[in-house]
């Protein structure tokens, strides 16, 4: 590897003084609490709303007239949230938008989950998002979610998070009997239909059949007042039943379930809470369903952003269709999502000149996609230049990132759904190890730098910064010299070396 690569490997920690290092550690203690409290999108929306209301954000119905500096919290379906901070500039000039997602790969319960087999009651699951199925058996799981009864009553379910709560688990096959399993491909070793979680073994003695299932159902009835059919209108998720933790003897990392993409959600949230009287209106949006292709009415493939911006503009007295189109197409966005950090255990899949590293700062990802950038938002260099200027001026440590070697896999983010409106978008987030696993790892430095990056973008980004200068006179179409002249400096160095 050449000089550039060596320079790149220098740790970001070495660039920070003690005060900044302490600030990064302090910031992450709040982050760790957030990860432990918000393991589902609904819980994330609750945490975001609470934090915003505490900081004086108001719901739209409490606002008569939109004034510059006004702070608004909007939510949708309990699974999407947005913080809006009104700027002084006209809305048609566009927004500074930071979009993260608060859904995360996990195991959802099926509509009819409960059954009995071989003296046990179990819960059937259907995995959500891109998981490696073998990672989920043989660990403690907690059940989070809601059950909506036919009359509309909402029952909140949260079992397995308190120290004395029972937990659930998916049993794994013992090595003694796993000869055939161990010879299978990893993708086939654990079958999706065998991801059934243990939920009880005691029988309901008065019954003749399904006695163990009946015992569990009785417990559910006593606690939540529900019938088995009520599980049809439920949204229940099995997630790892352990809290987020510090990782490493130097405590320099955070380990947790769900950091993709709550690491960007939390840092964007904290940034939005600190933004004050910006010139351009800020929208800090938290969306659902990214992990399953941004589908559904809580995912970004819907008209969610358009409807949200229309609502803001309507409240501001701007009802013309053209103003809405202008506002959207003049906006600038950071698609706040994670990238993969180079993992020394798997060096073969990374191209180290262009992949991102732990503790080297927030990651700017120009493009994602696969098979030749297919399905990617390929950010415009004019926009990236402005972001470079912004980050450098704000003291943000940043690096470039590409998702692994070319043609080795790939992935995507919500950026293309934002670009759809004509706005400028680039992916910008934190590099993770063990992404999409039940225990993802981030560097505290990178988490803190994401916060600083989002804050600078929300507060200070202007499309007028680093405005395109007129093209230089030399366009590069003059002929190349017949022989390459050696620079005087270079000949001095050669002479020096020969001594
Ligand atoms: Zn993801």
The DSSP-derived string for 448-463 is HHHHHHHHHHHHH--T
Same domain for 409 and 453, yes or no, is: yes
Ligand 1 center–CA 400 separation, angstroms:
18
* Over residues 360-383, mean pLDDT: 88
Q: How do residues 440-475 score in pLDDT, each as one tens digit? A: 999 999 999 999 999 999 999 999 886 666 666 666
Contact by Cβ (8 Å): 305, 94: no
Provide the 3-class DSSP secondary structure of residue 64: coil
Q: What is the pLDDT of residue 28?
A: 98
Same domain for 294 and 175, yes or no, is: no
pLDDT band at 32 (very low <50, low <70, confident <90, very high): very high
496 occurs within a structural domain: no
Same domain for 113 and 207, yes or no, is: yes
Same domain for 187 and 326, yes or no, is: no
Which residues make Cβ contacts (< 8 Å) with residue 236, sequence separation at least 6? 108, 109, 113, 143, 144, 145, 146, 147, 157
Q: How do residues 96-140 score in pLDDT, each as one tens digit? A: 999 999 999 999 999 999 999 999 999 999 999 999 999 999 999
The domain in which residue 125 lies consists of: 106-240
Same domain for 167 and 297, yes or no, is: no
State the DSSP H helix or E strand holding residue 26, giving kind and residue range, or none if neither.
helix 18-37
Same domain for 66 and 125, yes or no, is: no
475 occurs within a structural domain: no
Residue with tokens 């230049």: 385
Q: Where are the beta strands (DSSP E) in 25-165?
A: 58-59, 71-76, 80-85, 95-101, 106-117, 120-128, 141-148, 154-159
- Inform me whether the pLDDT recorded for 8 exceeds 60: no
Q: What is the pLDDT of residue 1?
A: 37
- Choose among 369, 444, 493, 485: nearest CA to 11: 444
Q: Sign of the CA dihedral 450, 454, 455, 457?
A: positive
481 occurs within a structural domain: no
Same domain for 190 and 232, yes or no, is: yes
Q: What is the pLDDT of residue 468?
A: 63
Same domain for 281 and 397, yes or no, is: yes
> CATH number of the domain that 381 lies in?
3.40.630.10
- Inform me whether the pLDDT recorded for 499 exceeds 80: no
Residue with tokens 């080795």: 408
Same domain for 209 and 307, yes or no, is: no
- Inform me whether the pLDDT recorded for 144 exceeds 50: yes
- Provide the number of structural domains found in the chain: 2
**Structural tokens at position 451:** 């916060």
Whole-angstrom Cα distance, residue 253 to residue 16?
16
Ligand 1 center–CA 438 separation, angstroms:
12
Ligand 1 center–CA 104 separation, angstroms:
7
Same domain for 167 and 71, yes or no, is: no
Q: How do residues 48-86 score in pLDDT, each as one tens digit? A: 999 999 999 999 999 988 999 999 999 999 999 999 999
491 occurs within a structural domain: no
Same domain for 232 and 273, yes or no, is: no
Ligand 1 center–CA 103 separation, angstroms:
9
Provide the 3-class DSSP secondary structure of residue 122: strand
- Inform me whether the pLDDT recorded for 213 exceeds 80: yes
469 occurs within a structural domain: no
Q: How many Cβ atoms are within 10 Å of 16's Cβ, its own excluded? A: 19
The overall pTM is greater than 0.85: yes
Ligand 1 center–CA 133 separation, angstroms:
15
Q: What is the pLDDT of residue 348?
A: 93
Q: What is the pLDDT of residue 494?
A: 76
**Structural tokens at position 208:** 């003749």
Same domain for 112 and 86, yes or no, is: no
Ligand 1 center–CA 39 separation, angstroms:
14
Ligand 1 center–CA 7 separation, angstroms:
29
Q: How do residues 161-206 score in pLDDT, each as one tens digit? A: 999 999 999 999 999 999 999 999 999 999 999 999 999 999 998 8
Ligand 1 center–CA 344 separation, angstroms:
21
> CATH number of the domain that 169 lies in?
2.30.250.10
Domain boundary among 214, 240, 266: 240
Domain boundary among 207, 240, 273: 240
Mean pLDDT over each residue of the chain, to the nearest integer: 93
Domain boundary among 240, 268, 288: 240
- Choose among 457, 368, 465, 462: nearest CA to 417: 368
């Amino acid at each position: 590897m050449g000089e550039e690569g060596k320079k790149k490997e220098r740790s970001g920690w070495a660039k920070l003084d003690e005060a900044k290092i302490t600030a990064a550690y302090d910031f992450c203690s709040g982050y760790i609490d957030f990860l432990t409290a918000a393991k589902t999108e609904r819980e994330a929306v609750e945490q975001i709303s609470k934090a915003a209301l505490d900081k004086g954000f108001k719901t739209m119905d409490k606002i008569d007239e939109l004034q510059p500096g006004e702070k608004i919290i909007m939510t949708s379906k309990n699974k999407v949230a947005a913080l809006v901070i009104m700027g002084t500039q006209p809305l048609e000039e566009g927004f500074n938008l930071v979009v993260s997602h608060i859904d995360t790969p996990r195991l959802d319960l099926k509509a009819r989950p409960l059954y009995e087999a071989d003296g046990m009651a179990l819960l059937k699951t259907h995995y959500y998002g891109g998981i490696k199925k073998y990672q989920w058996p043989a660990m403690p799981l907690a059940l989070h979610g809601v059950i909506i009864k036919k009359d509309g009553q909402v029952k909140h379910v949260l079992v397995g998070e308190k120290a004395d709560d029972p937990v659930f688990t998916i049993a794994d096959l013992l090595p003694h009997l796993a000869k055939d399993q161990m010879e299978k491909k990893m993708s086939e070793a654990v079958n999706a239909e065998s991801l059934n979680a243990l939920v009880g073994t005691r029988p309901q003695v008065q019954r003749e059949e399904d006695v163990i299932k009946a015992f569990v159902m009785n417990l559910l009835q006593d606690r939540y007042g529900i019938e088995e059919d009520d599980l049809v209108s439920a949204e229940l998720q099995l997630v790892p039943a352990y809290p987020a933790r510090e990782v490493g003897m130097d405590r320099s990392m955070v380990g947790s379930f769900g950091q993709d993409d709550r690491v960007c959600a939390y840092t964007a949230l904290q940034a939005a809470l600190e933004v004050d009287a910006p010139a351009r209106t800020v929208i800090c949006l938290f969306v659902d369903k990214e992990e399953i292709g941004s589908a559904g009415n809580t995912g970004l493939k819907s008209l969610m952003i358009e409807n949200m911006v229309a609502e803001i503009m309507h409240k501001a007295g701007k009802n013309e269709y053209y103003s809405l189109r202008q506002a959207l197409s003049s906006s600038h966005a950071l698609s706040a999502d994670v990238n993969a950090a180079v993992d020394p255990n798997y060096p073969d899949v990374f191209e180290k000149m262009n992949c991102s590293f732990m503790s080297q700062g927030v990651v700017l990802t120009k493009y994602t996609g696969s098979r030749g950038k297919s399905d990617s938002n390929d950010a415009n260099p004019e926009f990236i230049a402005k972001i470079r200027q912004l980050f450098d001026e704000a003291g943000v440590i940043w690096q470039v990132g590409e998702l692994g070697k070319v043609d080795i896999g790939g992935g995507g983010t919500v950026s293309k759904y934002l670009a759809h409106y004509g706005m400028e978008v680039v992916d910008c987030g934190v590099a993770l190890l063990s992404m999409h696993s039940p225990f993802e790892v981030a560097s505290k430095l990178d988490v803190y730098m994401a916060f600083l990056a989002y804050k600078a973008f929300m507060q200070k980004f202007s499309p007028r910064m680093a405005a395109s200068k007129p093209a230089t006179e030399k366009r590069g179409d003059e002929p190349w010299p017949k022989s390459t002249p050696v620079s005087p400096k270079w000949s001095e160095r050669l002479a020096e070396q020969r001594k």
